[in-house]
Amino acid sequence: MTMQHMRVRIGPATFDIRSPFRAPVEAARRLYAEYPQGSDDEIFDFAVAAVPTVWWRRWYRRSMTFRADYMMEDIVPIEERLGLLGFEMAVNMQMALGYRRDIVLHAASAAQGDRAIIIVGDSGAGKSTLSALLSYSAGWRHLGDELALIAMDDPITLKPYPRPIGLKNQSIAVMRERVDGSRFGPELTGTMKGTVRHLLPPAGAIANMDVPARPALIVSPHFAEGVAPRTEQMSQSEAYMRLSVASTNQLQLGEPGFDTLIRLVREVPAYDLHYSDSEDALKLVADLWAKAG
Amino acid sequence: MGESGVTPSLILHEALRHPSTIGTLGTRQWNALIRVARAEMLMATLGERAAGTDVPDKARLLLDEARAAARRNHDAARFEVLRMADALRDSGIPVVLMKGSAYLMALLPPLPGRNIGDLDIMVPRESLADTERALKGAGWLSVKPRGTYDDAYYRQWMHELPPLAHEMRGGVIDLHHTILPLTARLTPRPERIFEHAVRPAALAPGGETDALPDNIFVMSPPEMLLHSATHLAYDGDFQGGARNLWDIDRLVRHFAKAEGFWDELTIAAAAHDLTVPLARALRLAEALYETPSPPSVRGRGDIVDRLALRKLRGHDEYGQGAAPGAQFLLFLRGHWLRMPPLMLARHLWTKWRARRGEGRREAPQNAR
């Protein structure tokens, strides 16, 4: 099988991406053109491949499944046209299952100067949209929209992992009003999460992907139609539980992982955010940020 | 790989045997080595072996990451052993730790770096029900509901009960009463394993281990090796074989230091009807890791050895299996050894129907 092939570095990890399907690799190359491209002469972190579900599915009713260093069993096969999304999922899975050098948190994050906000919440709560708004409408440096890497050092730092932001459904239009079309990837319709479109973070976020920041505020967004904007501070134990549950590897990191999250919730205030409108969300964050001083 | 037929698998085997050789690897070989080591669950072991060797910075980072993960894995595995021991402390039932948890609690040389999965333990068959009850009382629940085909199959034909998962922590115990399925063509004698079982501290270098209740044991050295060999060479299709053979290599080199070990091993193998799988495991270990053993115990190679070696050496530079023919034949052999043909046919038929049923139930959700 002749393989299409590329390597790309996102924050601390370099990925080797390959497939006999040409289109998804080319789409990934276009999407990641501004990222550091790994060379053949370097040791990379994770390999990810999209292969035909069955050999003939390479040509007829094209569908692919994924092979990688770390994989969950029973990945649902996907159509060739959604290959880019499959790569994104497989890449995230390598970080979630295989990366053990830092605590991996299912969270978005952004920084002002050397101080950072961590945005935790379930899928669909508004993490990606809020982090996109912060970086494109409020001048924050985008650190990541899906995974936050918390280094187990003293003081605690957050390592950027600024993948393209995965916007879903209505938030695509929200951001399209604010950002030039050239920063967007192709529109992927009919995915498990509806319509998905990737938004490249501002160029500065990619250029500074090796510059860490110190966490100063934790928020958990709750977007819902028709609610009045308000914030509610979490107790330290509540914040710990939310972060621990949001982590893919903290329990496997044992005592250092436990100690780091405990220190984090002692040092950094955490809030629930309720809003129905993106301008309100930005204002709530700005107020809390000023208070966190 | 371009270089004179040295496959990625062979780079791994050579790196484990002679860690100093990895100093000369090029970048492409390093990438292949890391993929194969991860696929074979030997990355942390490789990291431990290479601890004193000069390697590229990025390789060091990835090897150290795996070593640290293995240490955490050992903490978690030790915790589960101690919780299990607590739950069975007052039962008076003799409990034999198997495989990884035995190496862990007796500090044997597959450690450090050896990843430890589910907690495998063995009790006398007549104590199974009491053991299961005690574990259930302490929070371990069966993952196969009573009355299903799978549950009944385990209970009637297997060497273990369906896995028991802890309701809070998720840790899994595989509760055995012998070392091969009851349907297998060979029938080892579990009672001999209990007769010869020893306390973990008796095997540990220096005799120091975690304090465990009096009813917790590990197998005697010959039987521990026999179990590992049987698991590799008889019960299965050599999947993960590089790791299991590495265990065997480490155990052999460690146990064979004792006077009379090979004689005891030969006697135990005959008593358990396991001479053939032991010989095969020793031959394969010699082929991969130059594991020393007396030629009389090792015996002569055959077609299954050749198929197994094709598979064991057949990973490509992304760690994927690259010997599909050998793989398929070994899969057939594994099932053939595990159960008589009519029973196999019935089993596969039932499983196929169940899968088809699942596919039908899922179909409406997948349709768009």
pLDDT for res A221: 93
In a domain, B360, yes or no: no
Does residue A74 have a pLDDT over 70? no
In a domain, B362, yes or no: no
Q: What is the pLDDT of residues A3-39, one digit of tens each?
A: 889 999 999 999 999 999 999 999 999 999 999 998 8
Closest chain B C-alpha to A224 CA, distance in angstroms:
27
3-state secondary structure of B169: coil
* Integer Cα distance of A286 and B200 in angstroms: 60
pLDDT for res B366: 37
Does residue B361 have a pLDDT over 80? no
β-strands A46-52, A63-68 pairing: antiparallel
pLDDT band at B68 (very low <50, low <70, confident <90, very high): very high
B75 to chain A, any CB pair closer than 8 A? The answer is yes
Are A197 and A172 a contacting pair, CB within 8 Å? yes
Helix (H) or strand (E) holding B57: helix B57-88
- B-interface mutation test, from A3, A17, A43, A101, most B Cβ less than 10 A away: A43
3-state secondary structure of B322: coil
User: Could you tell me which chain B residue has the CA closest to the CA of A102?
Assistant: B65
Residues of chain A contacting B72 with CB distance shorter than 8 Å:
252-254
pLDDT for res B157: 78
User: CB–CB of A44 and B61 under 8 A?
Assistant: no
Instruction: Quote the tokens at residue A129.
Output: 């949209």
Does residue B138 have a pLDDT over 70? yes
Residue A33 CB: number of other CB atoms within 10 A? 10
Report how far apart, in Å, the C-alpha atoms of A234 and of each of A195, A240, A272, B156 are: 33, 10, 7, 53
* Integer Cα distance of B13 and B46 in angstroms: 10
pLDDT for res B363: 43
Instruction: Quote the tokens at residue B110.
Output: 């597959």
What DSSP state is assigned to residue B321? B
pLDDT for res B27: 95
Closest chain A C-alpha to B248 CA, distance in angstroms:
25
User: CB–CB of A42 and B27 under 8 A?
Assistant: yes
pLDDT for res B237: 82
Query: What is the percent of chain B with per-residue pLDDT over 70, rounded to a whole number?
Result: 94
User: CB–CB of A42 and B58 under 8 A?
Assistant: yes
Does residue A257 have a pLDDT over 70? yes
pLDDT for res A245: 95
Residues of chain A contacting B31 with CB distance shorter than 8 Å:
16, 43-44, 47
pLDDT for res B123: 97
3-state secondary structure of B88: helix
Report how far apart, in Å, the C-alpha atoms of A108 and of each of A143, A218, B6, B326 are: 7, 10, 44, 46
User: What is the pLDDT averaged over residues B26-33?
Assistant: 96
pLDDT band at A167 (very low <50, low <70, confident <90, very high): very high
Going by C-alpha positions, the residue among A269, A266, A249 that lies closest to residue A257 is A249
Q: What is the pLDDT of residues B114-131, one digit of tens each?
A: 999 999 999 999 999 999
User: CB–CB of A43 and B76 under 8 A?
Assistant: no
Beta bridge partners of B119: B173
Residue-averaged pLDDT of chain A: 92
pLDDT for res B325: 78
pLDDT band at B359 (very low <50, low <70, confident <90, very high): low
pLDDT band at A211 (very low <50, low <70, confident <90, very high): very high
pLDDT for res B240: 87
ipTM: 0.91
* Integer Cα distance of B292 and A225 in angstroms: 72
**Lowest-pLDDT choice from A100-109, B158-167, B216-225:** B158-167
3-state secondary structure of B121: strand
In a domain, B280, yes or no: yes
Q: How many CA atoms lie within 13 A of B47 on its CB side?
A: 26
Alpha-carbon torsion angle A141, A145, A146, A147, nearest 10: 10
B72 to chain A, any CB pair closer than 8 A? The answer is yes
Does residue B4 have a pLDDT over 60? no
What DSSP state is assigned to residue B320? -
pLDDT band at B181 (very low <50, low <70, confident <90, very high): confident
In a domain, B366, yes or no: no
In a domain, B361, yes or no: no
Q: What is the pLDDT of residues A218-240, one digit of tens each?
A: 999 998 889 999 999 999 999 99
* Integer Cα distance of B259 and B256 in angstroms: 7
Does residue A68 have a pLDDT over 50? yes
pLDDT for res B149: 84
* B147-152 long-range Cβ contacts below 8 angstroms, 24+ apart: B149/B350, B149/B354
User: What is the pLDDT averaged over residues A134-141?
Assistant: 94
Overall number of domains in chain B: 1
User: CB–CB of B76 and A190 under 8 A?
Assistant: no
Domain hosting residue B18, numbered range: 8-354
pLDDT for res B155: 81
Segments in A162-275 forming alpha helices (H):
170-176, 203-207, 236-246, 254-267
Q: Which of residues 230-269 of B touch A (CB under 8 A)?
A: none
A29 to chain B, any CB pair closer than 8 A? The answer is no
User: CB–CB of A254 and B38 under 8 A?
Assistant: no
Residues of chain A contacting B320 with CB distance shorter than 8 Å:
67
Tokens 């000069």, residue located: B54
Does residue B364 have a pLDDT over 60? no
In a domain, B367, yes or no: no
In a domain, B365, yes or no: no
In a domain, B342, yes or no: yes
Residues of chain A contacting B62 with CB distance shorter than 8 Å:
43, 45
